[in-house]
Structure 1
Amino acid sequence: MPPTRCLIAACLLSGSQPAAEAAPPPSDPVIGWARVEFDASGITRAEAGGLADIEAGRALTVDDPVRIASVSKLVIALAAARLVEEGAIDLRDDVSRHLGWRLRNPHFPDDAITLRTLLDHRAGIRDDAGYALPLDVDLEQWMAQPGAWDSDHPPGYFTYANLNFPVIAAVFEGATGERFDRLMARTVFEPIGLDACFNWTTCSENARERAVVLYDSDGAAIRDTQRFIAEDCPAIPASDGSCDHESYVLARNGAAFSPQGGLRISARDLARIGMLFLTRGAGTDFAFMNRHFRELALIPMLYSRRRAPITENGESEDGFYCRYNHGVHTLNRDGGACDDALFEGDAVYSGHAGSAYGVRSGLWISHEAGRGVAYFATGLPDELQPGASAFSAVEERLARGGGIETYAPESDD
């Protein structure tokens, strides 16, 4: 399975069917899970099970925020749409103008890197150099490492890479003069009314108290315990272990607040984002759902129809990625080398999946059928029971509503 997985235009998303009658294959048990189905008028089904915090014995609910992993990229794509509307950025511009330094694949120095190619995972960036930069590390120097670039393919070739998103965060900062986590609060969370945040920096005290603890498959806490939230650095500490935000320079790092996966959000609020996309903002008072956003939202679907599948020009991760454009993962359903049938039936879904720190998550929307689903589960092993597709069995159950088995390891304390 791919590591952290990873929308701009979920409002283009097409077709789905109600939960399948036949249950998906048996899956791994989880420590906690939440699942919310919705349509254009609101939430149609909300359910959760297991524990949010083993030590406290606190049951998990659909209102408890979790580190949602690469579904975070959905929200960053939404922020990109907002910044385009504000005139701060253009998807087609060379991002070097916002970074203040020249960003190029050294193997293809004549090809400009644009925000569009970064969102598409087609800029040639690779994760071999790593993507978790400490507070005091300089992104320009980091990108000079050989492992940060594809030496074999020119821009346009798809390879999913988390490092694209620290670069995008730095571009946002250079274009606006705002720190990434605060910019996300201003452009997305506050207008929609979400109590969500990156790395806990802008969430309320109530959200912190309701945090879903992340566990490995043995029940050992990995992060987001109450002790972790109160005492640990809200960014990636500097190389000497310090956590002084004065060492963080705008547009020179981008990774400190984990843009590739560090969004903390509840299943209910994730579903609210899905409903916003599903309705294209119709009937809402969200100030940024205007003509510019809607035009931008059409781009991924147009590209998905025109471009060859990733299996013909990119790394599909054994058929997991078939079409991916502007931050949208579209489940292809056209057979061939693709194996991305997370849902049963002939409908097409678009959205995003996530996987990190024992969490599997997803937000998927069907524009044709007018419905969608948001979900996550915790306490999972790295290697999962396979499903009938390139997705795992537990992801298929969460997506389709097949029933989830939970377990509760004893607390170490």
Structure 2
Amino acid sequence: MWSMSLAHGQNAALDRELAAVAHDPALPLASLSVLALRAGQVDYSYQTGLRQLDRPATGVGPDTLYRIASISKMVTAMGVMKLIEQHKLDLDTDVSQYLGYPLRNPGFPEREITLRMLLSHTSSLRDGAGYYWAGEQPIRAELTRGTPSMWSSMAAPGQFFTYANLNWGVIGTVMEQVTGERFDLLMQRLLLQPMGIHGGYFPPSFSDAELDRLATLYRKRSTDTEVWDSQGPWIAQVDDYRSGRPLSALPASYQPGQNATLFSPTGGLRISAQGLGQLMQMLLQHGQYQGRTILQPDSIRLMFSQQWLFDGRNGDTEQGQYGSWGLGSQRFGRLANGRDRLVEDATFHAVGHLGEAYGLLSTFAVDLERGNGMIVLIGGLGRDPALHPGQYSALTRSEERILTALYRHITRPPRPEPGR
């Protein structure tokens, strides 16, 4: 399935372009793994760099697992759609009914909050009070104490888009409540295991082989400051398990439905470019993968359909990064100024998600109509990306160069013949 179909010379040219980006002295990358699909099939794969930078034998491959940050949200949303198909969840039901206690914005106590709002970042939840709580404290205590920084005081649920990681802590907890299953194990059962995808949301449960394939994420920045040193050493940020297996922070008394933030439905999925390619193929095959039905076609259409569109005043676009949203998915290239696009060609539209955390930058973008898609996993940055902003988007310049190269060589639709 992973054989390449391009002529060798064309592949070599793209290899050189990507190598130039990854090893650019101005902004070097710790590692890079990309995959591109054309007409529904894997057409190109490229990797460079090391999983652990002090171990020369740990070269990155298409099966190297990365903590993919917020692309995890889109994968979590696939699990939600599966539970909707099973009639265990409904998009427009008050989630208080699932949680077993009222979830209300203190400023708008009469307004229900639904899964549709949580999945489209219009719930009025905010990240100001945090979105991860360790230990045995149930998330209920945090969600019901009325902390002002946890809620919008200006917009009622359903009225305003603000990207908030906390939405996914609530979503994961709801998923646990209606199934009685731990979030990480539930996602294995619903999605990852049926597709033969390695990795998951909880590294302490990984096999030794999976941990060996896991990439450490790096920056040339200390883990507790914002100070970059481009001339200094690479510093491991997360998933550095060279000294032993990861320890579980899960309380022995944990019961599903208490606090799914422990598994980071918002950003904690470890998966490879190859695994993301399998998910992309499933979407392009209308929910089918190797003869199994993973999702119904209607679920896929609904998940990527527009739930929110910026009208100039109904949301925070974060400097143009967000223009349109589905259910756990971003819709790229919808803003008039183009800052939410991915490639230099402003006519390219796609759906998917971006990720950024601990030095990682990630992209999952698919044109569902034409069957073309791009997956990019960057394992760390050697210099402050703010010094190298994108020229035509809200991305970094490295991301622009990688995505536009993939688009030009692999995923760009064929030009119409003269006279047509």
Fold shared by both chains (TM-score > 0.5): yes
Given the superposition, is the C-alpha separation of residues 94 and 76 from structure 1 closer, same or farther in structure 2, using an over 3 Å criterion?
Answer: same
| Pairwise CA distance, 1:141 | 1.4
Q: Which amino acid aligns with 1:30?
A: L
Given the superposition, is the C-alpha separation of residues 61 and 401 from structure 1 closer, same or farther in structure 2, using an over 3 Å criterion?
Answer: farther
- The 8 Å contact of residues 376 and 398 in structure 1, kept in 2 or not, is answered as no
1:123-174 deviation digits (Å, cap 9, x = unpaired): 0000000112103122111122222111111112100000111100100010
Work out whether 1:193 is the aligned partner of 2:199. Answer: no
Given the superposition, is the C-alpha separation of residues 136 and 220 from structure 1 closer, same or farther in structure 2, using an over 3 Å criterion?
Answer: same
| Pairwise CA distance, 1:402 | 6.7
| Pairwise CA distance, 1:396 | 1.4
| Pairwise CA distance, 1:401 | 3.0
Instruction: Decide which moves more: 158-167 or 389-398.
Output: 389-398
Map of 1:215 onto structure 2: 218
Map of 2:240 onto structure 1: 225
Work out whether 1:390 is the aligned partner of 2:394. Answer: yes
Distance in 1 (alpha carbons) for counterparts of 2:183 and 2:244: 19
Distance in 2 (alpha carbons) for counterparts of 1:105 and 1:370: 41
Equivalent residue in structure 1 for 2:149, among 138, 147, 150: 147
- Identity over aligned pairs, percent: 32
Q: Which amino acid aligns with 2:116?
A: R
Map of 1:7 onto structure 2: none
Map of 1:265 onto structure 2: 271
Distance in 1 (alpha carbons) for counterparts of 2:49 and 2:242: 21
Map of 1:108 onto structure 2: 108
Map of 2:29 onto structure 1: 30
- The 8 Å contact of residues 320 and 335 in structure 2, kept in 1 or not, is answered as no
| Pairwise CA distance, 1:259 | 1.1
| Other structure's SS at 2:389 match | coil
Q: Which amino acid aligns with 1:146?
A: P
Distance in 2 (alpha carbons) for counterparts of 1:342 and 1:222: 26
- The 8 Å contact of residues 38 and 45 in structure 1, kept in 2 or not, is answered as yes
| Pairwise CA distance, 1:39 | 3.1
Distance in 2 (alpha carbons) for counterparts of 1:159 and 1:283: 34
- The 8 Å contact of residues 305 and 326 in structure 2, kept in 1 or not, is answered as no
Work out whether 1:319 is the aligned partner of 2:323. Answer: no
Map of 1:53 onto structure 2: 52
| Pairwise CA distance, 1:225 | 2.0
| Other structure's SS at 1:78 match | helix
Structure 1: where are the runs of 5+ without partners? 1-18, 238-242, 404-413
Q: Which amino acid aligns with 2:135?
A: L
- The 8 Å contact of residues 340 and 390 in structure 1, kept in 2 or not, is answered as yes
| Pairwise CA distance, 1:284 | 3.9
Map of 1:294 onto structure 2: 297
Work out whether 1:244 is the aligned partner of 2:247. Answer: no
Q: TM-score, normalised by structure 2?
A: 0.82
Instruction: Decide which moves more: 126-135 or 367-376.
Output: 367-376
| Pairwise CA distance, 1:226 | 2.5
Map of 1:11 onto structure 2: none
| Pairwise CA distance, 1:352 | 0.3
| Pairwise CA distance, 1:207 | 1.1
| Pairwise CA distance, 1:282 | 4.9
- The 8 Å contact of residues 310 and 316 in structure 1, kept in 2 or not, is answered as no
1:35-77 deviation digits (Å, cap 9, x = unpaired): 0011354210000011111122211112110101000011101
Map of 1:410 onto structure 2: none
- The structure that has the greater radius of gyration is 2
1:77-88 to 2 correspondences below 5 Å: 77-88=77-88
Q: Which amino acid aligns with 1:395?
A: E
- The 8 Å contact of residues 333 and 347 in structure 1, kept in 2 or not, is answered as no
Q: How many residues align?
A: 369
- The 8 Å contact of residues 165 and 259 in structure 1, kept in 2 or not, is answered as yes
- The 8 Å contact of residues 363 and 375 in structure 2, kept in 1 or not, is answered as yes
Map of 1:401 onto structure 2: 405
- The 8 Å contact of residues 348 and 366 in structure 1, kept in 2 or not, is answered as yes
Map of 1:369 onto structure 2: 370
| Pairwise CA distance, 1:347 | 2.1
Distance in 2 (alpha carbons) for counterparts of 1:283 and 1:224: 30
Given the superposition, is the C-alpha separation of residues 50 and 147 from structure 1 closer, same or farther in structure 2, using an over 3 Å criterion?
Answer: same
Q: TM-score, normalised by structure 1?
A: 0.83
1:292-333 deviation digits (Å, cap 9, x = unpaired): x322332355435xx542643100001100001211101134
- The 8 Å contact of residues 304 and 327 in structure 2, kept in 1 or not, is answered as no
Distance in 1 (alpha carbons) for counterparts of 2:157 and 2:400: 33
| Pairwise CA distance, 1:397 | 2.4
Q: Which amino acid aligns with 1:367?
A: L
Map of 1:14 onto structure 2: none
Map of 1:6 onto structure 2: none
Q: Which amino acid aligns with 1:169?
A: G
1:231-252 deviation digits (Å, cap 9, x = unpaired): 433xxx4xxxxx5332x23212
Distance in 2 (alpha carbons) for counterparts of 1:263 and 1:35: 17
Map of 1:182 onto structure 2: 185
Q: Which amino acid aligns with 1:392?
A: T
Distance in 1 (alpha carbons) for counterparts of 2:243 and 2:184: 19
Given the superposition, is the C-alpha separation of residues 227 and 244 from structure 1 closer, same or farther in structure 2, using an over 3 Å criterion?
Answer: farther
More RCO (CA 8 Å, sep 6+) = 1
Distance in 1 (alpha carbons) for counterparts of 2:52 and 2:210: 14
